[in-house]
Amino acid sequence: MNAKTRKVAVIGSNRIPFARSNGTYRHASNQDMLTAALDGLIDRFGLEGQRLGEVAGGAVLKHSRDRDLTRESVLGTRLAAETPAYDVQQACGTGLETTILVANKIALGQIDAGIACGADTTSDAPIALNEELRETLLEANRQTTTIGRIKALSSVRPQHLVPAIPRNEEPRTGLSMGDHCAIMATEWNIGRAEQDELTVASHRNLAAAYDRGFFEDLMTPYLGLRQDQNLRPDSSVEKLAGLKPVFGGPDGTMTAANSTPLSDGASAVLLASEEWAKERGLPILAYVTEAQTAAVDHVHKREGLLMAPAYAMSEMLDRAGLELQDFEYYEIHEAFAAQVLATLKAWEDPDFCREKLDRKKPMGAIDRTRLNLNGGSLAAAHPFAATGGRIVGSLAKQLSQDGKGRGVISICAAGGQGVVAILEAPGGKK
Amino acid sequence: MSDTYTQIVNAPLVSSLASSLGLPRPVELDRFSAGEPVVNGPVLTGAAPDGSLRLSISRILDSIAAERAGTEGPVKALVFDATGISDSGQLVELQKFFYPGVSRLGPSGRAIVLGTPPASTGAVRAHTAQRALEGFVRSLGKEIGARGSTTQLVYVEPGAETEIDSTLRFLLSPRSAYVSGQVIRVGKAVTATPELDWDRPLGGLTALVTGASRGIGESIAATLARDGATVVGLDIPAAGSDLDAVTSRLGGRSIALDITAEGAPAAIASQLPEGVDVIVHNAGVTLDRTIAKMPEERWTRLMEINLSSEERINDEILARGLLRPNGRIVCVSSMSGIAGNSGQTNYATSKAGVIGMVEAMAPEMAKRKGTINAVAPGFIETRMTAAMPFGPREVGRRLSSLSQGGKPVDVAEAIAWFASPASTGVNGNTIRVCGQNLLGA
């Protein structure tokens, strides 16, 4: 095994605009969208016919036929068919986790270039057979005689026609992610107004980024959609104040606006060694310098389901020898405004930092004006596995525009997991 | 200016009969309308190994938010970077890209090949291979024209890779509907390309358009005004009221004078005290007669209007320094000036002279940080062509790869592309707007 590691560059990215569930992409499959995002990336960087080290990708909501979603998508692109690919599934952490996997292989010299990607559709959802019907059919299949089969099938009942629809629910608690986050909002005393303010800032920042052409080389249109469908540039705290809570009961603070909507989309990031980029005359937008994954016990120890990034960040910063304030940009995935605010509060909280993170001093506050500067998931929406690629791509471009500086990414995921990473501009820290 | 033939052969019952008889069935060409994307459909790109334009093309496609095509499905445009081809053996890269690509090209599609000017390759084999691209593009245009699709070859001077934005945008968009089979040269910028609002590239600029009262001239004035220019329309005093109607509608102003009159250049210059950014020499006449029956006066009057007056106006405006930095002179030549036409010795002479003027003035214009180019219209549907007898008119229309006449706006759009402040590398070109007409090609 190679003991030396080398720098990993983000060369560029591409995504298709994110659509609202059952919107423009209602007939597009994960494979269609992932292929479209990859095609745009391949075209932008002239990768047609090239064999890359690997493509790592995934989706959270998958059909059984999408067993090798990423490999099948690659076969549908203009990459050389000899490019290997595999699927990863880590809920909403999928997109960033694929980035880490590809980056690590590049760092170790096992590959020179690869693509990290993800897609998700909530419109073309994998509706499964009713569980009792499925068992009945399997039982019939096991029978060796016709009589046996007929007997087995005779237990089919009309209620078996009700299909099994994928649910946004934690298997071990039975609570939806929103319900979990509502508990966190209560625990951390997160108010309605601050959630709505964060939401409005997300929309405003995303709209401003579109206005200055920021997404020009980060996105290719798909099925006629040219910008994120969920974006409401004229969103305001006054307008949002009128919405009824959707999680946490009648007194809840979480609404349809300060929670991400169901959505469809795909994204892809091109990573490579410096040499590979140089040989092809391709730019280096940023380097992937650190990454960390953490998980919490939300089942028995009752830690907040979406608090894992708080832990992952602490571990990563310790290893990197950095403070939370050493960054020019903070990209915190806005699954829910309350999740972001609870995480920020936890980092500022002396008790949490001491008891949970084993730190003498709290990690402290961040400069809120550096948070999700080009819009977050509340505005862009959140096709689960596509979010990591969106964030890595946007942050890398922002850092390359600045030339110097660091940015940190934090993404919470179902199952009590969190993924964080650091990107650094080509010119190093500021 | 309805094209009755096109309507008839595309009518429900007639269309199958027409197709079984093998009659040409021209399709309605896509044309630009405000608010539409530059290219309305996926673009498939490709490159021969070691091409130098791949990333420039990507950047431009990003800047126009072009959807990218994958391995399947219809495409709106094919863009191939052939600059890497340096030997005849590598020309097969054209086949490799277009063989699967061309059958995916939808109606009013675009096939654009980019190469290096043969003489700039500096090697015999590379020169040969790059020159060969012309034959490919012209033939491809004839194969895909029946569906309203067009082809072009853009030769990009080494070092001018970043100057192709305005040209690629024009060629990809419906603005170039009636331009096909053309060879365009993009050289190094004559001056720094300014920041541009692509929806109003001529914003804040002044354009002088001669012969602006009707027909193609009126369309040029309207198109430049749409692109943001303040239009100064010029025409003979007899057309004064038509001219005023055009310029007042466009928010511009009029100069009513005879460009051949003594002192006309000075009079025009005095009407442009602030200078001018774009001069479009559109005014022109036909005074047809075979040379055996051509009186001297008929010859001279035409030559004065179509060529000599343009030379004098250019001289006057340049001498007075009235053409502003990054200025443009755009001339209107003609297919007749390239192919020749019976009964048009005088006209074709003047229009071939326009091409010569463009060639000769290009280096001088570059020194002045400006450009000069010409369009050469083919069969354009105007009141003039509407008055032609049915037979010649129908033949005129069908003799092109697109099997139809063009519209005045097609000429105007090409002029607007030359006039764009971003076309700083486009100098000394004469581009035909003829649907790849067979005459003179």
Helix (H, G, I), strand (E, B) or coil at B325: strand
Asked which of A116-125, B46-55, B156-165, B382-391 is least confident by mean pLDDT, the reply is: B382-391
Any domain includes B358: yes
pLDDT digits 0-9 by tens, B267-295? 999 999 999 999 999 999 999 999 999 99
Amino acid identity of A208? A
Q: Are B240 and B268 part of one and the same domain?
A: yes
pLDDT exceeding 90 applies to what percent of chain B? 86
Alpha-carbon separation of residue B398 from A369, B26, B152, B393, B405 (angstroms): 64, 8, 20, 9, 7
Of B60, B62, B165, which to mutate for an interface test with A (greatest number of A Cβ within 10 Å)?
B62
| Domain boundary, last residue among B124, B156, B186 | B186
- The answer, yes or no, to whether residue A70 has pLDDT greater than 90, is yes
Q: Is B89 exposed, middle or buried (0-12, 13-18, 19+ CB in 10 A)?
A: exposed
Could you give the percent of chain A with pLDDT greater than 90? 84
Question: Is residue B210 located within the same domain as residue B167?
Answer: no
Inter-chain CB proximity A78 and B59 less than 8 Å: no
Q: Which of A35, A213, A219 is nearest residue B70 as measured by Cβ atoms?
A: A35
Tell me if B70 and A36 make a contact (CB, 8 A cut-off). yes
> Measured between alpha carbons, how far is B129 from B121 in angstroms, rounded to an integer?
10
The residue among B165, B179, B64, B112 whose CA lies nearest residue B409 is B179
Residue A121 to residue A32: CA distance in whole angstroms: 10
**What's the structural domain count of chain B?**
2
SS3 per residue for A311-324:
HHHHHHHHHHCCCC
- Mean pLDDT across B51-75: 94
| B286 and B142 within one domain | no
B143 shares a domain with B115: yes
Cβ neighbours of A221 in B, within 8 Å:
37, 65-67
Task: Clarify whether residues B320 and B271 are in a common domain.
Answer: yes
DSSP string, A71-120: HHHHHTSSS-TT--EEE--BTBTHHHHHHHHHHHHHHTTS-SEEEEEEEE
Q: What is the pLDDT of residue B14?
A: 65
pLDDT band at B12 (very low <50, low <70, confident <90, very high): low
- B279 located within any domain: yes
What does the pLDDT average to over A64-87? 95
Tokens describing residue B266: 């000075």
Phi and psi based region of residue B369 (left: phi greater than 0; alpha: psi -120 to 50; beta: remaining): left
Residues B168 and B77 in one domain: yes
Facing residue for A226 by CB, picked from B62, B65, B70? B65
For residue A76, the chain B residues in CB contact (below 8 A) are 70-72
Q: Which of A34-43, A122-131, A323-332 has the lowest mean pLDDT?
A: A122-131
Same domain, B172 and B212: no
Residue A315 touches partner B, C-beta closer than 8 Å:
no
State which residue of chain B sits closest to A34, comparing Cα positions: B70
User: Which residues on A lie below 8 Å from B46 (Cβ)?
Assistant: 48
* Confidence (pLDDT) at A171: 87
Q: Residue A397: inside a domain, yes or no?
A: yes
CB contact under 8 Å between A220 and B55, yes or no, is no
Nearest to A10 by CA among A126, A142, A113: A113
Interchain contact, A44 vs B65, CB within 8 Å: no
CATH number at residue A359: 3.40.47.10
Q: What is the mean pLDDT of residues A183-208?
A: 96
Q: Is pLDDT of A377 > 70?
A: yes
- Tell me the C-alpha distance between A10 and A396, whole Å: 7
Residue B197 maps to a domain: no
**What's the CA gap between A376 and B427, in Å, rounded?**
46
Mapped onto helix, strand or coil, the DSSP state of residue B176 is helix
Contact indicator for A293, A97 with CB cutoff of 8 Å? yes
| CB spacing of B65 vs A221 below 8 angstroms | yes
- Tell me the shortest Cα–Cα distance from B67 to chain A, in angstroms: 5
CB–CB contact B63 A216 (8 Å): yes
Which tens digit of pLDDT belongs to each residue from B347-368? Answer: 999 999 999 999 999 999 999 9
B231 and B150, same domain (yes or no): no
Residue B2 pLDDT > 60: no
Are residues A182 and A157 located together in one domain of the fold? no
pLDDT in tens, B333-343: 999 999 999 99
A45 chain-B contacts, CB cut-off 8 A? 55, 58
Catalytic residue among B5, B155, B178, B347: B347
Per-residue confidence at A131, pLDDT binned at 50, 70, 90?
confident
Compute the average pLDDT of residues A86-93: 96
For residue A220, is it within any domain?
no
User: Where residue B309 sits, what CATH number does that domain have?
Assistant: 3.40.50.720
pLDDT at residue A422 is higher than 90: yes
Helix axes B345-367, B296-303, angle to 10 degrees: 30
Residues B302 and B403 in one domain: yes
Q: If DSSP codes are grouped into helix, strand and coil, which group holds residue A69?
A: helix
The model's pLDDT over B403-427, given as tens digits with 9 standing for 90+, comes to 999 999 999 999 999 999 999 999 9
Co-location of B170 and B137 in the same domain: yes
The predicted model gives B87-94 an average pLDDT of: 98
Do A157 and A191 fall into the same domain? no
Among the partner-chain residues A45, A78, A220, the one whose CB lies closest to the CB of B67 is A220
Distance from CA of B57 to the nearest CA of A (A): 9
Predicted local distance difference test score (pLDDT) of residue A159: 86
pLDDT of residue B336: 93
CB atoms within 10 A of CB A13: 32
- The mean-pLDDT minimum among A30-44, A125-139, B116-130, B187-201 falls in A125-139
What is the nearest CA distance from A359 to chain B, expressed in angstroms? 46
Q: Is the pLDDT of residue B16 over 80?
A: no
In a domain, A375, yes or no: yes
Q: Check if A24 contacts B (Cβ < 8 Å).
A: no
Q: Comparing C-alpha atoms, which of A314, A319, A313, A329 is closest to residue A410?
A: A313
Q: How far is B356 from B130, CA to CA, in rounded Å? A: 25
* Torsion angles phi and psi, residue A420, rounded to 5: -135, 155
Verify whether the Cβ–Cβ distance B59 to A217 is below 8 Å: yes
> For residue A76, is it within any domain?
no
Instruction: Answer yes or no: do A220 and B65 touch at CB < 8 A.
Output: yes
B71·A43 Cβ contact <8 A? no
d(CA B289, CA A422): 79
A419 membership: H or E segment, kind and range: strand A417-424
Residue A240: other Cβ atoms inside 10 A: 21
In a domain, A295, yes or no: yes
Locate the chain B residue with the closest alpha carbon to A227. B65
Question: Is A219 at the interface with chain B, CB within 8 A?
Answer: yes
Q: pLDDT by residue (tens digit) across A350-373?
A: 999 999 999 999 999 999 999 999
Whether A166 has a pLDDT exceeding 80, the answer reads no
pLDDT, mean of residues B192-206: 93
Q: Does A154 share its domain with A296?
A: no
In this predicted structure, what is the pLDDT of residue B18?
62
Active site residues of A: 92, 382, 412
Indicate if B269 and B414 belong to the same structural domain: yes
DSSP 8-state symbol, B68: B
Q: Is the pLDDT of residue A389 over 90?
A: yes
B65 neighbourhood in chain A, CB within 8 Å:
216, 219-221, 226
Domain-embedded: residue A248: no
User: Where does the pLDDT of residue A240 fall: very low under 50, low under 70, confident under 90, or very high at 90 and above?
Assistant: very high
- SS3 state of residue A39: helix
The ipTM, to two decimals, is: 0.82
pLDDT band of B329, cuts 50, 70, 90: very high
CA distance to partner chain B, nearest, from residue A43 (Å)? 7
pLDDT at B441: 66
Put simply, the answer to whether B71 touches A46 (Cβ < 8 Å) is no
Q: Does A220 touch chain B (CB under 8 A)?
A: yes
More confident residue, A148 or A268: A268
Locate tokens 């009513």: which residue?
B256
In this predicted structure, the answer to whether residue B17 has a pLDDT above a threshold of 70 is: no
**Is A311 touching B (CB cutoff 8 A)?**
no
In terms of domains, do A150 and A296 share one?
no
The residues facing A401 across adjacent strands are: none
Q: What is the mean predicted confidence (pLDDT) over B250-257?
A: 97
Which residue range is the domain that position A195 belongs to? Answer: 177-213+290-424
Does A165 have pLDDT greater than 80? no
Same domain, A300 and A354: yes
- Residues B133, B244 within the same domain: no
B163 vs A158, which has greater pLDDT? B163
CB contact under 8 A, A39 and B69: yes
Residue B392's pLDDT is 78
Is residue B253 within 8 A of residue B233, CB to CB? The reply is: yes
Give the residue carrying structure tokens 């001297």.
B296
Mean pLDDT of chain A: 95
Question: Would you state the pLDDT for residue B23?
Answer: 63
Residue A140 lies in a domain: yes
pLDDT score of B384 more than 80: no
CB neighbours of B188 closer than 8 A, spacing ≥ 6? B157, B159, B160, B163, B425
pTM above 0.90, yes or no: no
- What residue numbers bound the domain in which B158 lies? 21-186
pLDDT tens for A285-309 read 999 999 999 999 999 988 999 999 9
Based on the domain organization, do A325 and A385 belong to the same domain? yes
Residue pairs spanning A and B at CB distance below 8 A? 58
Q: How far is A35 from chain B (nearest CA, A)?
A: 8
Question: For helices A177-187 and A337-348, what crossing angle results, to 10°?
Answer: 40
What mean pLDDT comes out for the span B307-333? 97
Q: In chain B, pLDDT over 70 holds for what percent of residues?
A: 96
Q: How much is the pLDDT for B387?
A: 79
pLDDT tens-digit series, residues A255-276 = 999 999 999 999 999 999 999 9
Q: Assign A170 a pLDDT band (cuts: 50, 70, 90).
A: confident
Query: Residue A287 forms beta bridges with which residues?
Result: A9, A424
Over residues A131-151, the mean pLDDT reads 89
Phi, psi of B53 (to 5 degrees): -110, 0
Q: Pick B68's closest partner by Cβ from A40, A216, A282.
A: A40
Cβ-Cβ contacts under 8 Å, A44 against chain B: 58, 61-62, 68
Residue after which a domain boundary falls, among B126, B158, B186: B186
Interface residue ranges in chain B relative to chain A, Cβ cutoff 8 Å? 37, 43, 45-47, 54-55, 58-59, 61-63, 65-72
Residue B80: both structure tokens together:
């191939």
Residue (of B189, B144, B145, B135) closest to B166 by Cα position = B189
Of the candidates B413, B423, B419, the one whose C-alpha atom is nearest the C-alpha of residue B202 is B419
* Best residue in A34, A41, A43, A211 for a mutation probing chain B (most B CBs within 10 Å): A43
User: Are residue A294 and residue A333 in the same domain, yes or no?
Assistant: yes
**pLDDT grade for A65, boundaries at 50, 70 and 90:** confident
pLDDT category of residue B242 using cuts at 50, 70 and 90: very high
Tally of structural domains, chain A = 2
Q: Contact A227/A209 with Cβ under 8 angstroms?
A: no
Identify whether A296 is part of a domain.
Answer: yes
